[in-house]
Structure 1
Amino acid sequence: MARQIADVEIHASDTRDLDDDNLDVSVDLIDDGLYLGNLACARDHKTLEQLGVTHILTVDLVPLPRSILDQTSLIIKYIKLADVPKEDLITHLPECNDFIKDSIANGGKVLVHCYFGVSRSASVVIGYIMEKYGLCYEDAFVLVKSKRRFIGPNNGFVAQLKLFGHMEYRLNRDDPRYKQFRLKMAGQKLKQVKILPQCFADLIKPDPGLIRERPDPIVYRCKKCRRIVASQSNIIPHIPKQVKVELAKKNMRPPPSKHTGLNCAENGQLLIEKLKNLACQMMESKLTADDSCKCPCGQKVAPAFYLVPSKVEWSNIVQNVQTTV
């Protein structure tokens, strides 16, 4: 039988050693039906039985051993994730939250764990608490830390959790900040494997010059050949790198990049999303088409294009009705 909420706090000082890892069982009850612990806890049959755990969410580089996976009394979900700031946590948060919610709604008890129960699994639990109680990252962190004192999500996970809260606990691919995050992730993958993974295929937008159904009314054309090379929706808003540096020195957070005067696009620097089949008479010398693209302000985005401002002009496609029919 599981212990009462006030009694559940198993740590190294009062538990058994696991010889193969030299880890002690460590677990805390965070919320009704939700435990946060380490690998040793997830591998210890006696502790799982004692707590009444029915579901396990593993957030680690390797899954649990066969001795645990083969237990028919347990439902186990595995998320492969490294504890590094550049790792993509936010993509997994909705499915993790659904797993926890459904498990508890069906009368189960969930253990969320990584290796130490400090960063990865703590981040997942914080994301769940944020959504369940409508909290910002800071408040959810304080709540979870009050239950498990040594949690510590890495800086990258913290930023992603804050973004998750900004998007109201869902993944909004139209959100500029999330779009920039995914572009950054895609750029990292391109560096590693030299090819864009299928999960990022939607980042490569259709050629704006070929769109016939509900085209964007505001476009940018090549001054020489008059070809449409981008639409307003393709522009990637971003704060100049130097502004970020100055704000960091003052320990201030950058405001949203849409703010007037802090968006490079408003100052004539045009960084756009990667587009399919973009071709122009001036492409070779006037459009930067590298997978990794840097704005003159120093901000680097990949995959993306940089449009040389002097070689393109703003245009309103509405006057060219024949191109939209």
Structure 2
Amino acid sequence: MTEVYEYLFLGGLNIVTEEFLKLNQIRNVVTVDIELPDIDLTSLNIQHKHIQLTDEENSLLFPYFPETTDWLINAIQNKQNSLVHCRHGVSRSATIVIAVLMKLLNQTYQTTLDQIKVNHSSACPNPGFINQLALWKILDYKIQNGHKNYRLFKFQTGYIAEQEQNNENESIASEFGFKCGKCRKRIFDSSDLIPHKAEWWRDFSTDNLCNKSYCLIPKPWMELKEDVDQGKLNCRCGNKLGSFTLQNYVCIQCSCGEESRGPTILVNPARVDKYKINHV
């Protein structure tokens, strides 16, 4: 067990005992594990959050960052001691604590990890959690529904945020729009374009876009079937726009020669018409 920051403790399941909690005047506990501690926290007047998650690279902790970090930061600011723990105090709980301090101190992942390791040397988030902390920094420690990295995160991981509503009319500033070459319906914008091999945990905002095919983040109107290795993307009017895959083991090759593996959408520029959007 370690006090990694004032009023914030990090550890494993072995320290979640009545003796420890009373001795350190813990008022809030976050459990990041499948199982709960074998202790009645409510009888000790302790507020408790339980995040049911295994320590695997494809486990998603990011969706829990906003609410949990705000809760713990509020406790710190009110001088209440909080404990974040998982089974061993190494990966899952360390990830939550790093997310808290990144937001509280406006720091990068590495700076925060180095700070924690001074007193808790075993802190070591798995690679998947490290990527999610990189996204946390890119998004400025909050959910930004229209941000390309967040949209790509949801697409490539299959994460569905129930509280978020898909809205085809969502207002996102775009320089260009693209209409179907057949029915003339506006089907996507420049804000939906991404480079080949874009990764949601990396800032790709300055990367060059391909003009041989348009690589897209999905739009709500697209009907992407999960039961095919590589499907055809059609406009609602039937115009054949391009191809897609939702499978991590499938590669789609652009006419430029670049291959993209995993969830990918490619549109043939010859099937759409580009136009400049005039903002009032």
Note if contact 1:271-1:295 (Cα within 8 Å) is conserved in structure 2: no
Alignment of 1:149-164 (within 5 A): 149-164=121-136
- Paired amino acid for 1:306: L
Are residues 311 and 152 of structure 1, via their aligned partners in 2, closer, same or farther at CA, if it must alter by over 3 Å? same
Are residues 134 and 290 of structure 1, via their aligned partners in 2, closer, same or farther at CA, if it must alter by over 3 Å? closer
Partner of residue 165 from structure 1, selected from 115, 133, 137 = 137
Do residues 64 (structure 1) and 24 (structure 2) align?
no
Q: CA deviation at 1:205?
A: 4.8
- Paired amino acid for 1:233: S
Note if contact 2:151-2:217 (Cα within 8 Å) is conserved in structure 1: no
Do residues 298 (structure 1) and 245 (structure 2) align?
no
- Paired amino acid for 1:313: D
Specify the alignment match of 1:259 in structure 2.
206
* C-alpha RMSD of matched pairs (Å): 3.2
Note if contact 2:56-2:128 (Cα within 8 Å) is conserved in structure 1: yes
Alignment of 1:1-325 (within 5 A): 27-42=1-16, 44-65=17-38, 67-186=39-158, 197=160, 199=162, 202=165, 204-206=166-168, 218-235=176-193, 237-240=194-197, 256-261=203-208, 263-264=209-210, 266-276=211-221, 279-283=236-240, 286-288=241-243, 295-296=252-253, 297-300=258-261, 302=263, 305-316=265-276
Q: CA deviation at 1:164?
A: 1.3
Q: CA deviation at 1:294?
A: 5.9
Q: CA deviation at 1:152?
A: 0.7
Deviation per CA, 1:11-60: give whole Å up to 9, x if none.
xxxxxxxxxxxxxxxx1111111110101111x21122222212111111
Specify the alignment match of 1:251 in structure 2.
none
Specify the alignment match of 2:229 in structure 1.
none
Note if contact 1:54-1:73 (Cα within 8 Å) is conserved in structure 2: yes
Are residues 291 and 275 of structure 1, via their aligned partners in 2, closer, same or farther at CA, if it must alter by over 3 Å? farther
- Paired amino acid for 1:257: F
Note if contact 1:119-1:153 (Cα within 8 Å) is conserved in structure 2: yes
- Paired amino acid for 1:199: E
Q: CA deviation at 1:112?
A: 0.6
- Paired amino acid for 2:24: L
Q: CA deviation at 1:63?
A: 2.6
Write 1 or 2 for the structure with the bigger share of helix: 1
Q: For 1:234 and 1:114, how far apart are their aligned partners in 2?
A: 38
Q: CA deviation at 1:115?
A: 0.5
Q: CA deviation at 1:272?
A: 3.9
Q: Percent identity?
A: 22
Are residues 281 and 107 of structure 1, via their aligned partners in 2, closer, same or farther at CA, if it must alter by over 3 Å? closer
Q: For 1:99 and 1:288, how far apart are their aligned partners in 2?
A: 43
TM-score, scaled to structure 2: 0.79
Deviation per CA, 1:219-257: give whole Å up to 9, x if none.
22333343333222232x13447xx9xxxxxxxxx9742
Q: For 2:82 and 2:114, how far apart are their aligned partners in 1?
A: 21
Higher relative contact order (CA 8 A, sep 6+): 2
Are residues 174 and 300 of structure 1, via their aligned partners in 2, closer, same or farther at CA, if it must alter by over 3 Å? farther
Q: For 2:277 and 2:20, how far apart are their aligned partners in 1?
A: 66
Are residues 255 and 140 of structure 1, via their aligned partners in 2, closer, same or farther at CA, if it must alter by over 3 Å? closer
Q: For 1:30 and 1:215, how far apart are their aligned partners in 2?
A: 41
TM-score, scaled to structure 1: 0.69
The aligned length equals 261
Are residues 159 and 104 of structure 1, via their aligned partners in 2, closer, same or farther at CA, if it must alter by over 3 Å? same
- Paired amino acid for 1:54: R
- Paired amino acid for 1:177: N
Q: CA deviation at 1:270?
A: 3.3
Note if contact 1:272-1:307 (Cα within 8 Å) is conserved in structure 2: no
Are residues 290 and 227 of structure 1, via their aligned partners in 2, closer, same or farther at CA, if it must alter by over 3 Å? farther
Are residues 84 and 231 of structure 1, via their aligned partners in 2, closer, same or farther at CA, if it must alter by over 3 Å? same
Note if contact 2:33-2:51 (Cα within 8 Å) is conserved in structure 1: yes
Structure 1's consecutive aligned runs of 4 or more residues displaced over 6 angstroms after TM superposition are: 212-215
